[in-house]
Amino acid sequence: MHILIIGYVWPEPNSSAAGSRMMQLINSLQAEHFTISFATPAQKTEHMVNLDALGIKTTQITLNHSSFDDYVIELNPDVVIFDRFMMEEQFAWRIEKHCPDALRVLNTEDLHSLRHARHKAVKSNKDFELKNMHTDLGLREIAAILRSDLTLMISAYEYTLLQDKFNIPQYQLMHLPFMLPSITQSDLNTLPSFEQRQHFISIGNFRHEPNWDAVLQLKTEIWPKIRQALPQAQMHIYGAYPPPKATQLHNEKQGFLIKGWARDANQVMQQSRICLAPIRFGAGIKGKLVEAMLNGTGSITTPVGAESMHGELAWNGEICDSNDDFVNAAISLYQDKSAWQLSQQKGLAILTTYYHKDEWHKKFIARLNDAKAAQSENRQQNFMGLMVRHHSLKSTQYMSQWIEAKNKPNKCD
Protein backbone atom coordinates (compact mmCIF):
# COMPACT_ATOMS: atom_id res chain seq x y z
CA MET A 1 0.00 0.00 0.00
CA HIS A 2 0.94 3.62 -0.44
CA ILE A 3 0.51 5.52 2.83
CA LEU A 4 0.30 9.30 3.02
CA ILE A 5 0.88 10.78 6.49
CA ILE A 6 -0.26 14.38 6.94
CA GLY A 7 1.74 15.54 9.92
CA TYR A 8 0.84 18.29 12.36
CA VAL A 9 4.58 18.85 12.80
CA TRP A 10 7.81 17.25 11.60
CA PRO A 11 8.54 14.32 13.93
CA GLU A 12 11.02 15.02 16.74
CA PRO A 13 11.36 11.81 18.78
CA ASN A 14 13.99 13.37 21.07
CA SER A 15 11.68 16.29 21.88
CA SER A 16 8.28 14.78 22.58
CA ALA A 17 6.29 11.60 23.08
CA ALA A 18 4.24 12.58 20.02
CA GLY A 19 7.41 12.55 17.94
CA SER A 20 8.34 9.11 19.26
CA ARG A 21 4.84 7.84 18.56
CA MET A 22 4.96 9.07 14.96
CA MET A 23 8.28 7.33 14.36
CA GLN A 24 6.89 4.11 15.84
CA LEU A 25 4.03 4.23 13.34
CA ILE A 26 6.42 4.97 10.47
CA ASN A 27 8.78 2.15 11.47
CA SER A 28 5.87 -0.27 11.72
CA LEU A 29 4.61 0.67 8.24
CA GLN A 30 8.10 0.48 6.77
CA ALA A 31 8.54 -3.02 8.20
CA GLU A 32 5.72 -4.08 5.84
CA HIS A 33 7.53 -2.44 2.89
CA PHE A 34 4.71 0.03 2.34
CA THR A 35 5.50 3.16 0.37
CA ILE A 36 5.30 6.15 2.70
CA SER A 37 4.94 9.83 1.90
CA PHE A 38 4.98 12.49 4.62
CA ALA A 39 3.49 15.94 4.11
CA THR A 40 3.02 18.76 6.59
CA PRO A 41 2.28 22.50 6.59
CA ALA A 42 4.70 22.95 9.52
CA GLN A 43 8.07 24.67 9.22
CA LYS A 44 11.18 22.52 9.44
CA THR A 45 12.99 22.40 12.80
CA GLU A 46 16.51 21.78 14.01
CA HIS A 47 15.56 18.61 15.93
CA MET A 48 13.42 16.94 13.24
CA VAL A 49 14.19 13.47 11.89
CA ASN A 50 15.61 13.31 8.37
CA LEU A 51 12.76 11.30 6.87
CA ASP A 52 14.18 11.50 3.36
CA ALA A 53 17.24 9.57 4.57
CA LEU A 54 14.84 6.82 5.66
CA GLY A 55 13.41 6.53 2.14
CA ILE A 56 10.29 8.58 2.89
CA LYS A 57 9.36 11.22 0.35
CA THR A 58 8.57 14.46 2.16
CA THR A 59 6.61 17.49 0.98
CA GLN A 60 5.79 20.81 2.60
CA ILE A 61 2.15 21.60 1.89
CA THR A 62 0.13 24.78 2.26
CA LEU A 63 -3.02 25.29 4.28
CA ASN A 64 -6.11 26.50 2.45
CA HIS A 65 -4.58 26.14 -0.99
CA SER A 66 -5.63 24.12 -4.02
CA SER A 67 -2.02 23.08 -4.67
CA PHE A 68 -2.66 20.23 -2.25
CA ASP A 69 -5.33 18.93 -4.63
CA ASP A 70 -2.80 18.52 -7.44
CA TYR A 71 -0.35 16.91 -5.03
CA VAL A 72 -2.76 14.30 -3.69
CA ILE A 73 -4.29 13.51 -7.10
CA GLU A 74 -0.85 12.64 -8.42
CA LEU A 75 0.04 10.70 -5.27
CA ASN A 76 -3.25 8.76 -5.15
CA PRO A 77 -2.59 7.07 -1.77
CA ASP A 78 -4.36 3.94 -0.53
CA VAL A 79 -4.35 5.17 3.07
CA VAL A 80 -4.14 8.66 4.55
CA ILE A 81 -3.13 9.07 8.19
CA PHE A 82 -4.02 12.44 9.72
CA ASP A 83 -1.74 13.36 12.61
CA ARG A 84 -4.17 14.90 15.11
CA PHE A 85 -7.66 16.07 14.39
CA MET A 86 -6.63 19.53 13.18
CA MET A 87 -5.06 17.97 10.10
CA GLU A 88 -8.20 15.95 9.47
CA GLU A 89 -10.23 19.16 9.62
CA GLN A 90 -7.95 20.92 7.16
CA PHE A 91 -7.41 18.20 4.58
CA ALA A 92 -10.03 15.42 4.88
CA TRP A 93 -12.51 17.14 2.58
CA ARG A 94 -9.85 17.38 -0.11
CA ILE A 95 -8.94 13.70 0.36
CA GLU A 96 -12.60 12.70 0.16
CA LYS A 97 -13.09 14.76 -2.99
CA HIS A 98 -9.97 13.67 -4.90
CA CYS A 99 -9.15 10.25 -3.35
CA PRO A 100 -12.53 8.91 -2.21
CA ASP A 101 -11.25 5.33 -2.02
CA ALA A 102 -8.39 6.15 0.36
CA LEU A 103 -8.80 4.81 3.89
CA ARG A 104 -8.87 7.77 6.30
CA VAL A 105 -7.06 7.09 9.59
CA LEU A 106 -6.83 9.55 12.48
CA ASN A 107 -3.86 9.40 14.87
CA THR A 108 -5.02 11.32 17.94
CA GLU A 109 -1.89 11.22 20.18
CA ASP A 110 -4.29 12.05 23.01
CA LEU A 111 -7.80 13.42 23.39
CA HIS A 112 -7.11 17.14 23.21
CA SER A 113 -10.57 17.99 24.55
CA LEU A 114 -10.01 15.77 27.61
CA ARG A 115 -6.64 17.39 28.31
CA HIS A 116 -8.08 20.90 27.98
CA ALA A 117 -11.11 20.06 30.13
CA ARG A 118 -8.88 18.69 32.87
CA HIS A 119 -6.70 21.78 32.64
CA LYS A 120 -9.71 24.02 33.06
CA ALA A 121 -10.86 22.01 36.07
CA VAL A 122 -7.43 22.36 37.73
CA LYS A 123 -7.37 26.12 37.14
CA SER A 124 -10.87 26.39 38.61
CA ASN A 125 -9.91 24.15 41.53
CA LYS A 126 -12.79 21.80 40.67
CA ASP A 127 -13.11 18.10 39.94
CA PHE A 128 -13.21 17.09 36.29
CA GLU A 129 -16.65 16.15 34.91
CA LEU A 130 -17.47 14.66 31.52
CA LYS A 131 -19.62 17.67 30.65
CA ASN A 132 -16.41 19.73 30.71
CA MET A 133 -15.57 18.12 27.35
CA HIS A 134 -18.77 19.49 25.79
CA THR A 135 -16.95 22.44 24.27
CA ASP A 136 -16.19 23.71 20.78
CA LEU A 137 -12.91 21.79 20.92
CA GLY A 138 -14.68 18.62 22.04
CA LEU A 139 -17.29 18.87 19.29
CA ARG A 140 -14.60 19.37 16.65
CA GLU A 141 -12.51 16.46 17.90
CA ILE A 142 -15.38 13.97 18.21
CA ALA A 143 -16.64 15.03 14.76
CA ALA A 144 -13.20 14.24 13.28
CA ILE A 145 -13.29 10.80 14.91
CA LEU A 146 -16.77 10.12 13.53
CA ARG A 147 -15.67 11.15 10.05
CA SER A 148 -12.62 8.88 10.04
CA ASP A 149 -12.64 5.23 9.00
CA LEU A 150 -10.30 4.32 11.88
CA THR A 151 -8.95 6.27 14.86
CA LEU A 152 -5.84 5.19 16.77
CA MET A 153 -6.10 5.70 20.53
CA ILE A 154 -2.92 5.53 22.57
CA SER A 155 -4.79 5.36 25.89
CA ALA A 156 -7.04 2.47 26.92
CA TYR A 157 -9.00 4.87 29.15
CA GLU A 158 -9.77 7.16 26.21
CA TYR A 159 -10.53 4.19 23.95
CA THR A 160 -13.21 3.08 26.41
CA LEU A 161 -14.42 6.64 27.07
CA LEU A 162 -15.16 7.19 23.38
CA GLN A 163 -17.23 4.02 23.18
CA ASP A 164 -19.11 4.31 26.48
CA LYS A 165 -19.72 8.05 26.68
CA PHE A 166 -19.61 9.26 23.07
CA ASN A 167 -21.03 6.18 21.33
CA ILE A 168 -18.19 5.77 18.84
CA PRO A 169 -18.53 2.31 17.23
CA GLN A 170 -15.77 -0.12 18.12
CA TYR A 171 -14.97 -0.79 14.45
CA GLN A 172 -13.91 2.86 14.13
CA LEU A 173 -11.40 2.67 16.98
CA MET A 174 -8.17 0.86 17.78
CA HIS A 175 -6.27 0.94 21.05
CA LEU A 176 -2.63 1.23 20.03
CA PRO A 177 -0.19 2.22 22.81
CA PHE A 178 3.53 2.79 22.41
CA MET A 179 5.28 0.06 20.44
CA LEU A 180 8.57 -0.43 22.27
CA PRO A 181 11.54 -2.76 21.83
CA SER A 182 11.62 -5.56 24.38
CA ILE A 183 14.12 -5.41 27.22
CA THR A 184 15.22 -8.16 29.58
CA GLN A 185 16.72 -8.46 33.03
CA SER A 186 20.12 -8.76 31.36
CA ASP A 187 19.53 -5.35 29.74
CA LEU A 188 18.72 -3.83 33.12
CA ASN A 189 21.89 -5.33 34.58
CA THR A 190 23.99 -3.37 32.06
CA LEU A 191 22.55 -0.03 33.20
CA PRO A 192 24.14 2.19 35.87
CA SER A 193 23.49 0.87 39.37
CA PHE A 194 21.80 2.59 42.29
CA GLU A 195 25.17 3.80 43.60
CA GLN A 196 26.27 5.06 40.18
CA ARG A 197 23.24 7.31 39.81
CA GLN A 198 22.39 10.57 41.50
CA HIS A 199 19.88 13.40 41.41
CA PHE A 200 16.30 13.69 40.19
CA ILE A 201 15.11 14.24 36.63
CA SER A 202 12.02 15.65 34.96
CA ILE A 203 11.78 15.71 31.18
CA GLY A 204 9.19 16.98 28.71
CA ASN A 205 8.63 19.44 25.89
CA PHE A 206 8.07 22.90 27.39
CA ARG A 207 5.49 23.71 24.71
CA HIS A 208 3.20 21.06 26.18
CA GLU A 209 1.13 22.79 28.87
CA PRO A 210 0.96 19.83 31.32
CA ASN A 211 4.78 19.66 31.31
CA TRP A 212 5.16 23.36 32.08
CA ASP A 213 2.63 23.08 34.89
CA ALA A 214 4.59 20.12 36.31
CA VAL A 215 7.80 22.18 36.28
CA LEU A 216 6.05 24.94 38.24
CA GLN A 217 4.76 22.37 40.74
CA LEU A 218 8.28 21.08 41.23
CA LYS A 219 9.74 24.55 41.63
CA THR A 220 7.21 25.96 44.09
CA GLU A 221 5.59 23.05 45.93
CA ILE A 222 7.75 19.93 45.75
CA TRP A 223 11.45 20.54 45.24
CA PRO A 224 12.05 22.89 48.21
CA LYS A 225 10.86 20.14 50.59
CA ILE A 226 12.89 17.42 48.87
CA ARG A 227 15.98 19.63 48.87
CA GLN A 228 15.58 20.29 52.57
CA ALA A 229 15.69 16.55 53.27
CA LEU A 230 18.36 15.80 50.62
CA PRO A 231 20.61 18.90 50.48
CA GLN A 232 23.14 17.27 48.12
CA ALA A 233 20.55 16.22 45.54
CA GLN A 234 19.75 18.24 42.43
CA MET A 235 16.64 18.60 40.29
CA HIS A 236 17.52 18.38 36.58
CA ILE A 237 14.83 19.72 34.24
CA TYR A 238 15.15 18.64 30.59
CA GLY A 239 12.89 19.57 27.69
CA ALA A 240 12.86 20.98 24.19
CA TYR A 241 12.13 24.66 23.52
CA PRO A 242 12.44 26.13 27.03
CA PRO A 243 11.05 29.69 27.02
CA PRO A 244 12.64 32.54 29.00
CA LYS A 245 10.12 32.04 31.80
CA ALA A 246 11.51 28.51 32.24
CA THR A 247 15.22 29.35 32.03
CA GLN A 248 14.63 32.05 34.66
CA LEU A 249 13.79 29.30 37.14
CA HIS A 250 17.36 27.97 36.96
CA ASN A 251 18.97 28.31 40.41
CA GLU A 252 22.30 26.66 41.21
CA LYS A 253 22.04 27.45 44.92
CA GLN A 254 18.69 25.66 45.15
CA GLY A 255 19.91 22.75 43.03
CA PHE A 256 17.13 23.44 40.53
CA LEU A 257 18.78 23.23 37.11
CA ILE A 258 17.08 23.93 33.77
CA LYS A 259 19.06 21.78 31.35
CA GLY A 260 17.01 22.30 28.19
CA TRP A 261 16.90 19.89 25.25
CA ALA A 262 18.48 16.47 25.80
CA ARG A 263 20.33 15.16 22.77
CA ASP A 264 20.05 11.65 24.24
CA ALA A 265 17.09 11.29 26.61
CA ASN A 266 18.06 7.72 27.47
CA GLN A 267 21.52 8.77 28.62
CA VAL A 268 20.33 11.51 30.97
CA MET A 269 17.60 9.23 32.29
CA GLN A 270 20.15 6.49 33.04
CA GLN A 271 22.30 8.92 34.99
CA SER A 272 19.38 9.88 37.23
CA ARG A 273 18.07 7.92 40.18
CA ILE A 274 14.45 9.08 40.21
CA CYS A 275 12.11 10.59 37.59
CA LEU A 276 9.55 13.05 38.96
CA ALA A 277 6.34 13.76 37.02
CA PRO A 278 3.82 15.72 39.13
CA ILE A 279 1.28 15.89 36.30
CA ARG A 280 -1.98 17.51 37.40
CA PHE A 281 -3.80 17.31 34.07
CA GLY A 282 -3.31 15.76 30.68
CA ALA A 283 -4.37 12.85 28.48
CA GLY A 284 -2.85 10.00 26.51
CA ILE A 285 0.09 8.12 28.04
CA LYS A 286 3.35 9.68 29.13
CA GLY A 287 6.54 9.13 27.15
CA LYS A 288 8.76 10.36 29.99
CA LEU A 289 7.46 7.62 32.29
CA VAL A 290 8.00 4.92 29.65
CA GLU A 291 11.54 6.25 29.17
CA ALA A 292 12.09 5.92 32.92
CA MET A 293 11.07 2.24 32.79
CA LEU A 294 13.22 1.54 29.74
CA ASN A 295 16.23 3.00 31.53
CA GLY A 296 15.65 1.38 34.91
CA THR A 297 14.76 4.65 36.61
CA GLY A 298 12.09 4.63 39.32
CA SER A 299 9.38 7.27 38.99
CA ILE A 300 7.00 9.21 41.19
CA THR A 301 3.86 10.50 39.48
CA THR A 302 0.15 11.20 39.90
CA PRO A 303 -3.00 9.23 38.99
CA VAL A 304 -3.30 11.31 35.80
CA GLY A 305 0.36 10.68 35.00
CA ALA A 306 0.03 6.91 35.35
CA GLU A 307 -3.39 6.66 33.71
CA SER A 308 -3.72 3.72 31.28
CA MET A 309 -0.03 2.90 31.59
CA HIS A 310 0.22 -0.09 33.92
CA GLY A 311 -3.10 -1.94 33.97
CA GLU A 312 -3.33 -4.11 37.09
CA LEU A 313 0.44 -4.20 37.62
CA ALA A 314 2.27 -2.33 40.38
CA TRP A 315 3.86 0.99 39.40
CA ASN A 316 7.64 1.32 39.11
CA GLY A 317 7.77 3.71 42.03
CA GLU A 318 4.80 5.49 43.60
CA ILE A 319 1.54 7.10 42.44
CA CYS A 320 0.61 9.99 44.73
CA ASP A 321 -2.55 12.06 45.15
CA SER A 322 -1.04 14.93 47.14
CA ASN A 323 2.14 16.97 47.08
CA ASP A 324 3.07 15.85 50.59
CA ASP A 325 2.78 12.19 49.61
CA PHE A 326 4.74 12.97 46.45
CA VAL A 327 7.58 14.54 48.43
CA ASN A 328 7.73 11.72 50.97
CA ALA A 329 7.70 9.04 48.24
CA ALA A 330 10.50 10.79 46.33
CA ILE A 331 12.71 11.12 49.42
CA SER A 332 12.09 7.51 50.45
CA LEU A 333 12.73 5.91 47.05
CA TYR A 334 15.84 8.03 46.51
CA GLN A 335 17.43 6.53 49.65
CA ASP A 336 16.06 2.98 49.63
CA LYS A 337 18.22 0.75 47.43
CA SER A 338 16.00 -2.32 47.81
CA ALA A 339 12.82 -0.42 46.94
CA TRP A 340 14.59 1.22 44.00
CA GLN A 341 15.76 -2.14 42.63
CA LEU A 342 12.23 -3.49 43.05
CA SER A 343 10.92 -0.52 41.05
CA GLN A 344 13.13 -1.63 38.15
CA GLN A 345 11.50 -5.07 38.21
CA LYS A 346 8.05 -3.50 38.23
CA GLY A 347 8.93 -1.31 35.25
CA LEU A 348 10.23 -4.33 33.35
CA ALA A 349 6.97 -6.19 34.00
CA ILE A 350 4.91 -3.25 32.73
CA LEU A 351 6.96 -2.92 29.54
CA THR A 352 6.86 -6.65 28.82
CA THR A 353 3.11 -6.92 29.43
CA TYR A 354 1.75 -3.80 27.73
CA TYR A 355 4.17 -2.33 25.19
CA HIS A 356 5.83 -5.15 23.27
CA LYS A 357 6.61 -3.80 19.79
CA ASP A 358 6.27 -7.03 17.80
CA GLU A 359 2.87 -7.84 19.29
CA TRP A 360 1.40 -4.40 18.66
CA HIS A 361 2.95 -4.19 15.20
CA LYS A 362 1.08 -7.32 14.14
CA LYS A 363 -2.19 -6.02 15.58
CA PHE A 364 -1.75 -2.61 13.92
CA ILE A 365 -1.04 -3.97 10.45
CA ALA A 366 -3.84 -6.54 10.73
CA ARG A 367 -6.32 -3.86 11.79
CA LEU A 368 -5.20 -1.55 8.98
CA ASN A 369 -5.70 -4.31 6.42
CA ASP A 370 -9.08 -5.28 7.90
CA ALA A 371 -10.27 -1.66 7.88
CA LYS A 372 -9.21 -1.31 4.26
CA ALA A 373 -11.01 -4.52 3.26
CA ALA A 374 -14.21 -3.53 5.11
CA GLN A 375 -13.99 0.15 4.17
CA SER A 376 -17.09 0.29 1.96
CA GLU A 377 -19.26 -1.76 4.34
CA ASN A 378 -18.19 0.22 7.40
CA ARG A 379 -18.87 3.54 5.70
CA GLN A 380 -22.37 2.44 4.76
CA GLN A 381 -23.28 1.62 8.36
CA ASN A 382 -21.62 4.74 9.79
CA PHE A 383 -24.61 7.05 9.31
CA MET A 384 -23.44 9.50 11.97
CA GLY A 385 -20.12 9.78 10.19
CA LEU A 386 -21.82 10.31 6.85
CA MET A 387 -23.98 13.05 8.32
CA VAL A 388 -21.08 14.81 10.05
CA ARG A 389 -18.95 14.59 6.91
CA HIS A 390 -21.75 16.04 4.79
CA HIS A 391 -22.19 19.09 7.00
CA SER A 392 -18.87 19.82 8.66
CA LEU A 393 -16.60 19.00 5.73
CA LYS A 394 -18.68 21.19 3.43
CA SER A 395 -18.37 24.10 5.85
CA THR A 396 -14.62 23.46 6.16
CA GLN A 397 -14.35 23.30 2.38
CA TYR A 398 -16.15 26.60 1.84
CA MET A 399 -14.16 28.32 4.58
CA SER A 400 -10.90 27.05 3.07
CA GLN A 401 -11.89 28.17 -0.40
CA TRP A 402 -12.91 31.59 0.95
CA ILE A 403 -9.52 31.98 2.68
CA GLU A 404 -7.71 30.94 -0.50
CA ALA A 405 -9.69 33.44 -2.59
CA LYS A 406 -9.11 36.15 0.00
CA ASN A 407 -5.37 35.52 -0.10
CA LYS A 408 -5.09 35.81 -3.87
CA PRO A 409 -3.59 39.12 -5.05
CA ASN A 410 -6.05 41.67 -6.35
CA LYS A 411 -5.47 42.20 -10.09
CA CYS A 412 -6.45 45.84 -9.69
CA ASP A 413 -3.62 46.49 -7.21
Rg from Cα positions in the chain: 22
What integer pLDDT is reported at residue 392 of this predicted model?
64
Q: Could you write out the three-class secondary structure of the chain?
A: CEEEEECCCCCCCCCCHHHHHHHHHHHHHHHCCCEEEEEECCCCCCCCCCCHHHCCEEEECCCCCCHHHHHHHHHCCCEEEEECHHHHHHHHHHHHHHCCCCEEEEECCCCHHHHHHHHHHHHCCCCCCHHHHCCHHHHHHHHHHHHCCEEEECCHHHHHHHHHHHCCCHHHEEECCCCECCCCHHHHHCCCCCCCCCCEEEECCCCCHHHHHHHHHHHHHHHHHHHHHCCCCCEEEECCCCCHHHHCCCECCCCEEEEECCCCHHHHHHHCCEEEECCCCCCCCCHHHHHHHHCCCEEEECHHHHCCCCCCCCCCEEECCCHHHHHHHHHHHHHCHHHHHHHHHHHHHHHHHHCEHHHHHHHHHHHHHHHHHCHHHHHHHCHHHHHHHHHHHHHHHHHHHHHHHHHCCCCCC
- Which amino acid is present at 137? L
Residue ranges and CATH numbers for the domains of the chain are 2-179+357-407 (3.40.50.2000), 185-354 (3.40.50.2000)
What integer pLDDT is reported at residue 15 of this predicted model?
87
Global pTM value: 0.92
The span from the CA of 88 to the CA of 85, in Å, is 5
pLDDT tens string, the chain, 413 residues long: the values are 999 999 999 999 988 899 999 999 999 999 999 999 999 999 999 899 999 999 999 999 999 899 999 999 999 999 999 999 999 999 999 999 999 999 999 999 999 999 999 999 999 999 999 999 999 999 999 999 999 999 999 999 999 999 999 999 999 999 999 999 989 999 999 999 999 999 999 999 999 999 999 999 999 999 999 999 999 999 999 999 999 999 999 999 999 999 999 989 999 999 999 999 999 999 999 999 999 999 999 999 999 999 999 999 999 999 999 999 999 999 999 999 999 999 999 999 999 999 999 999 999 999 999 999 999 999 999 888 777 876 666 666 666 676 777 777 765 55
What integer pLDDT is reported at residue 383 of this predicted model?
81
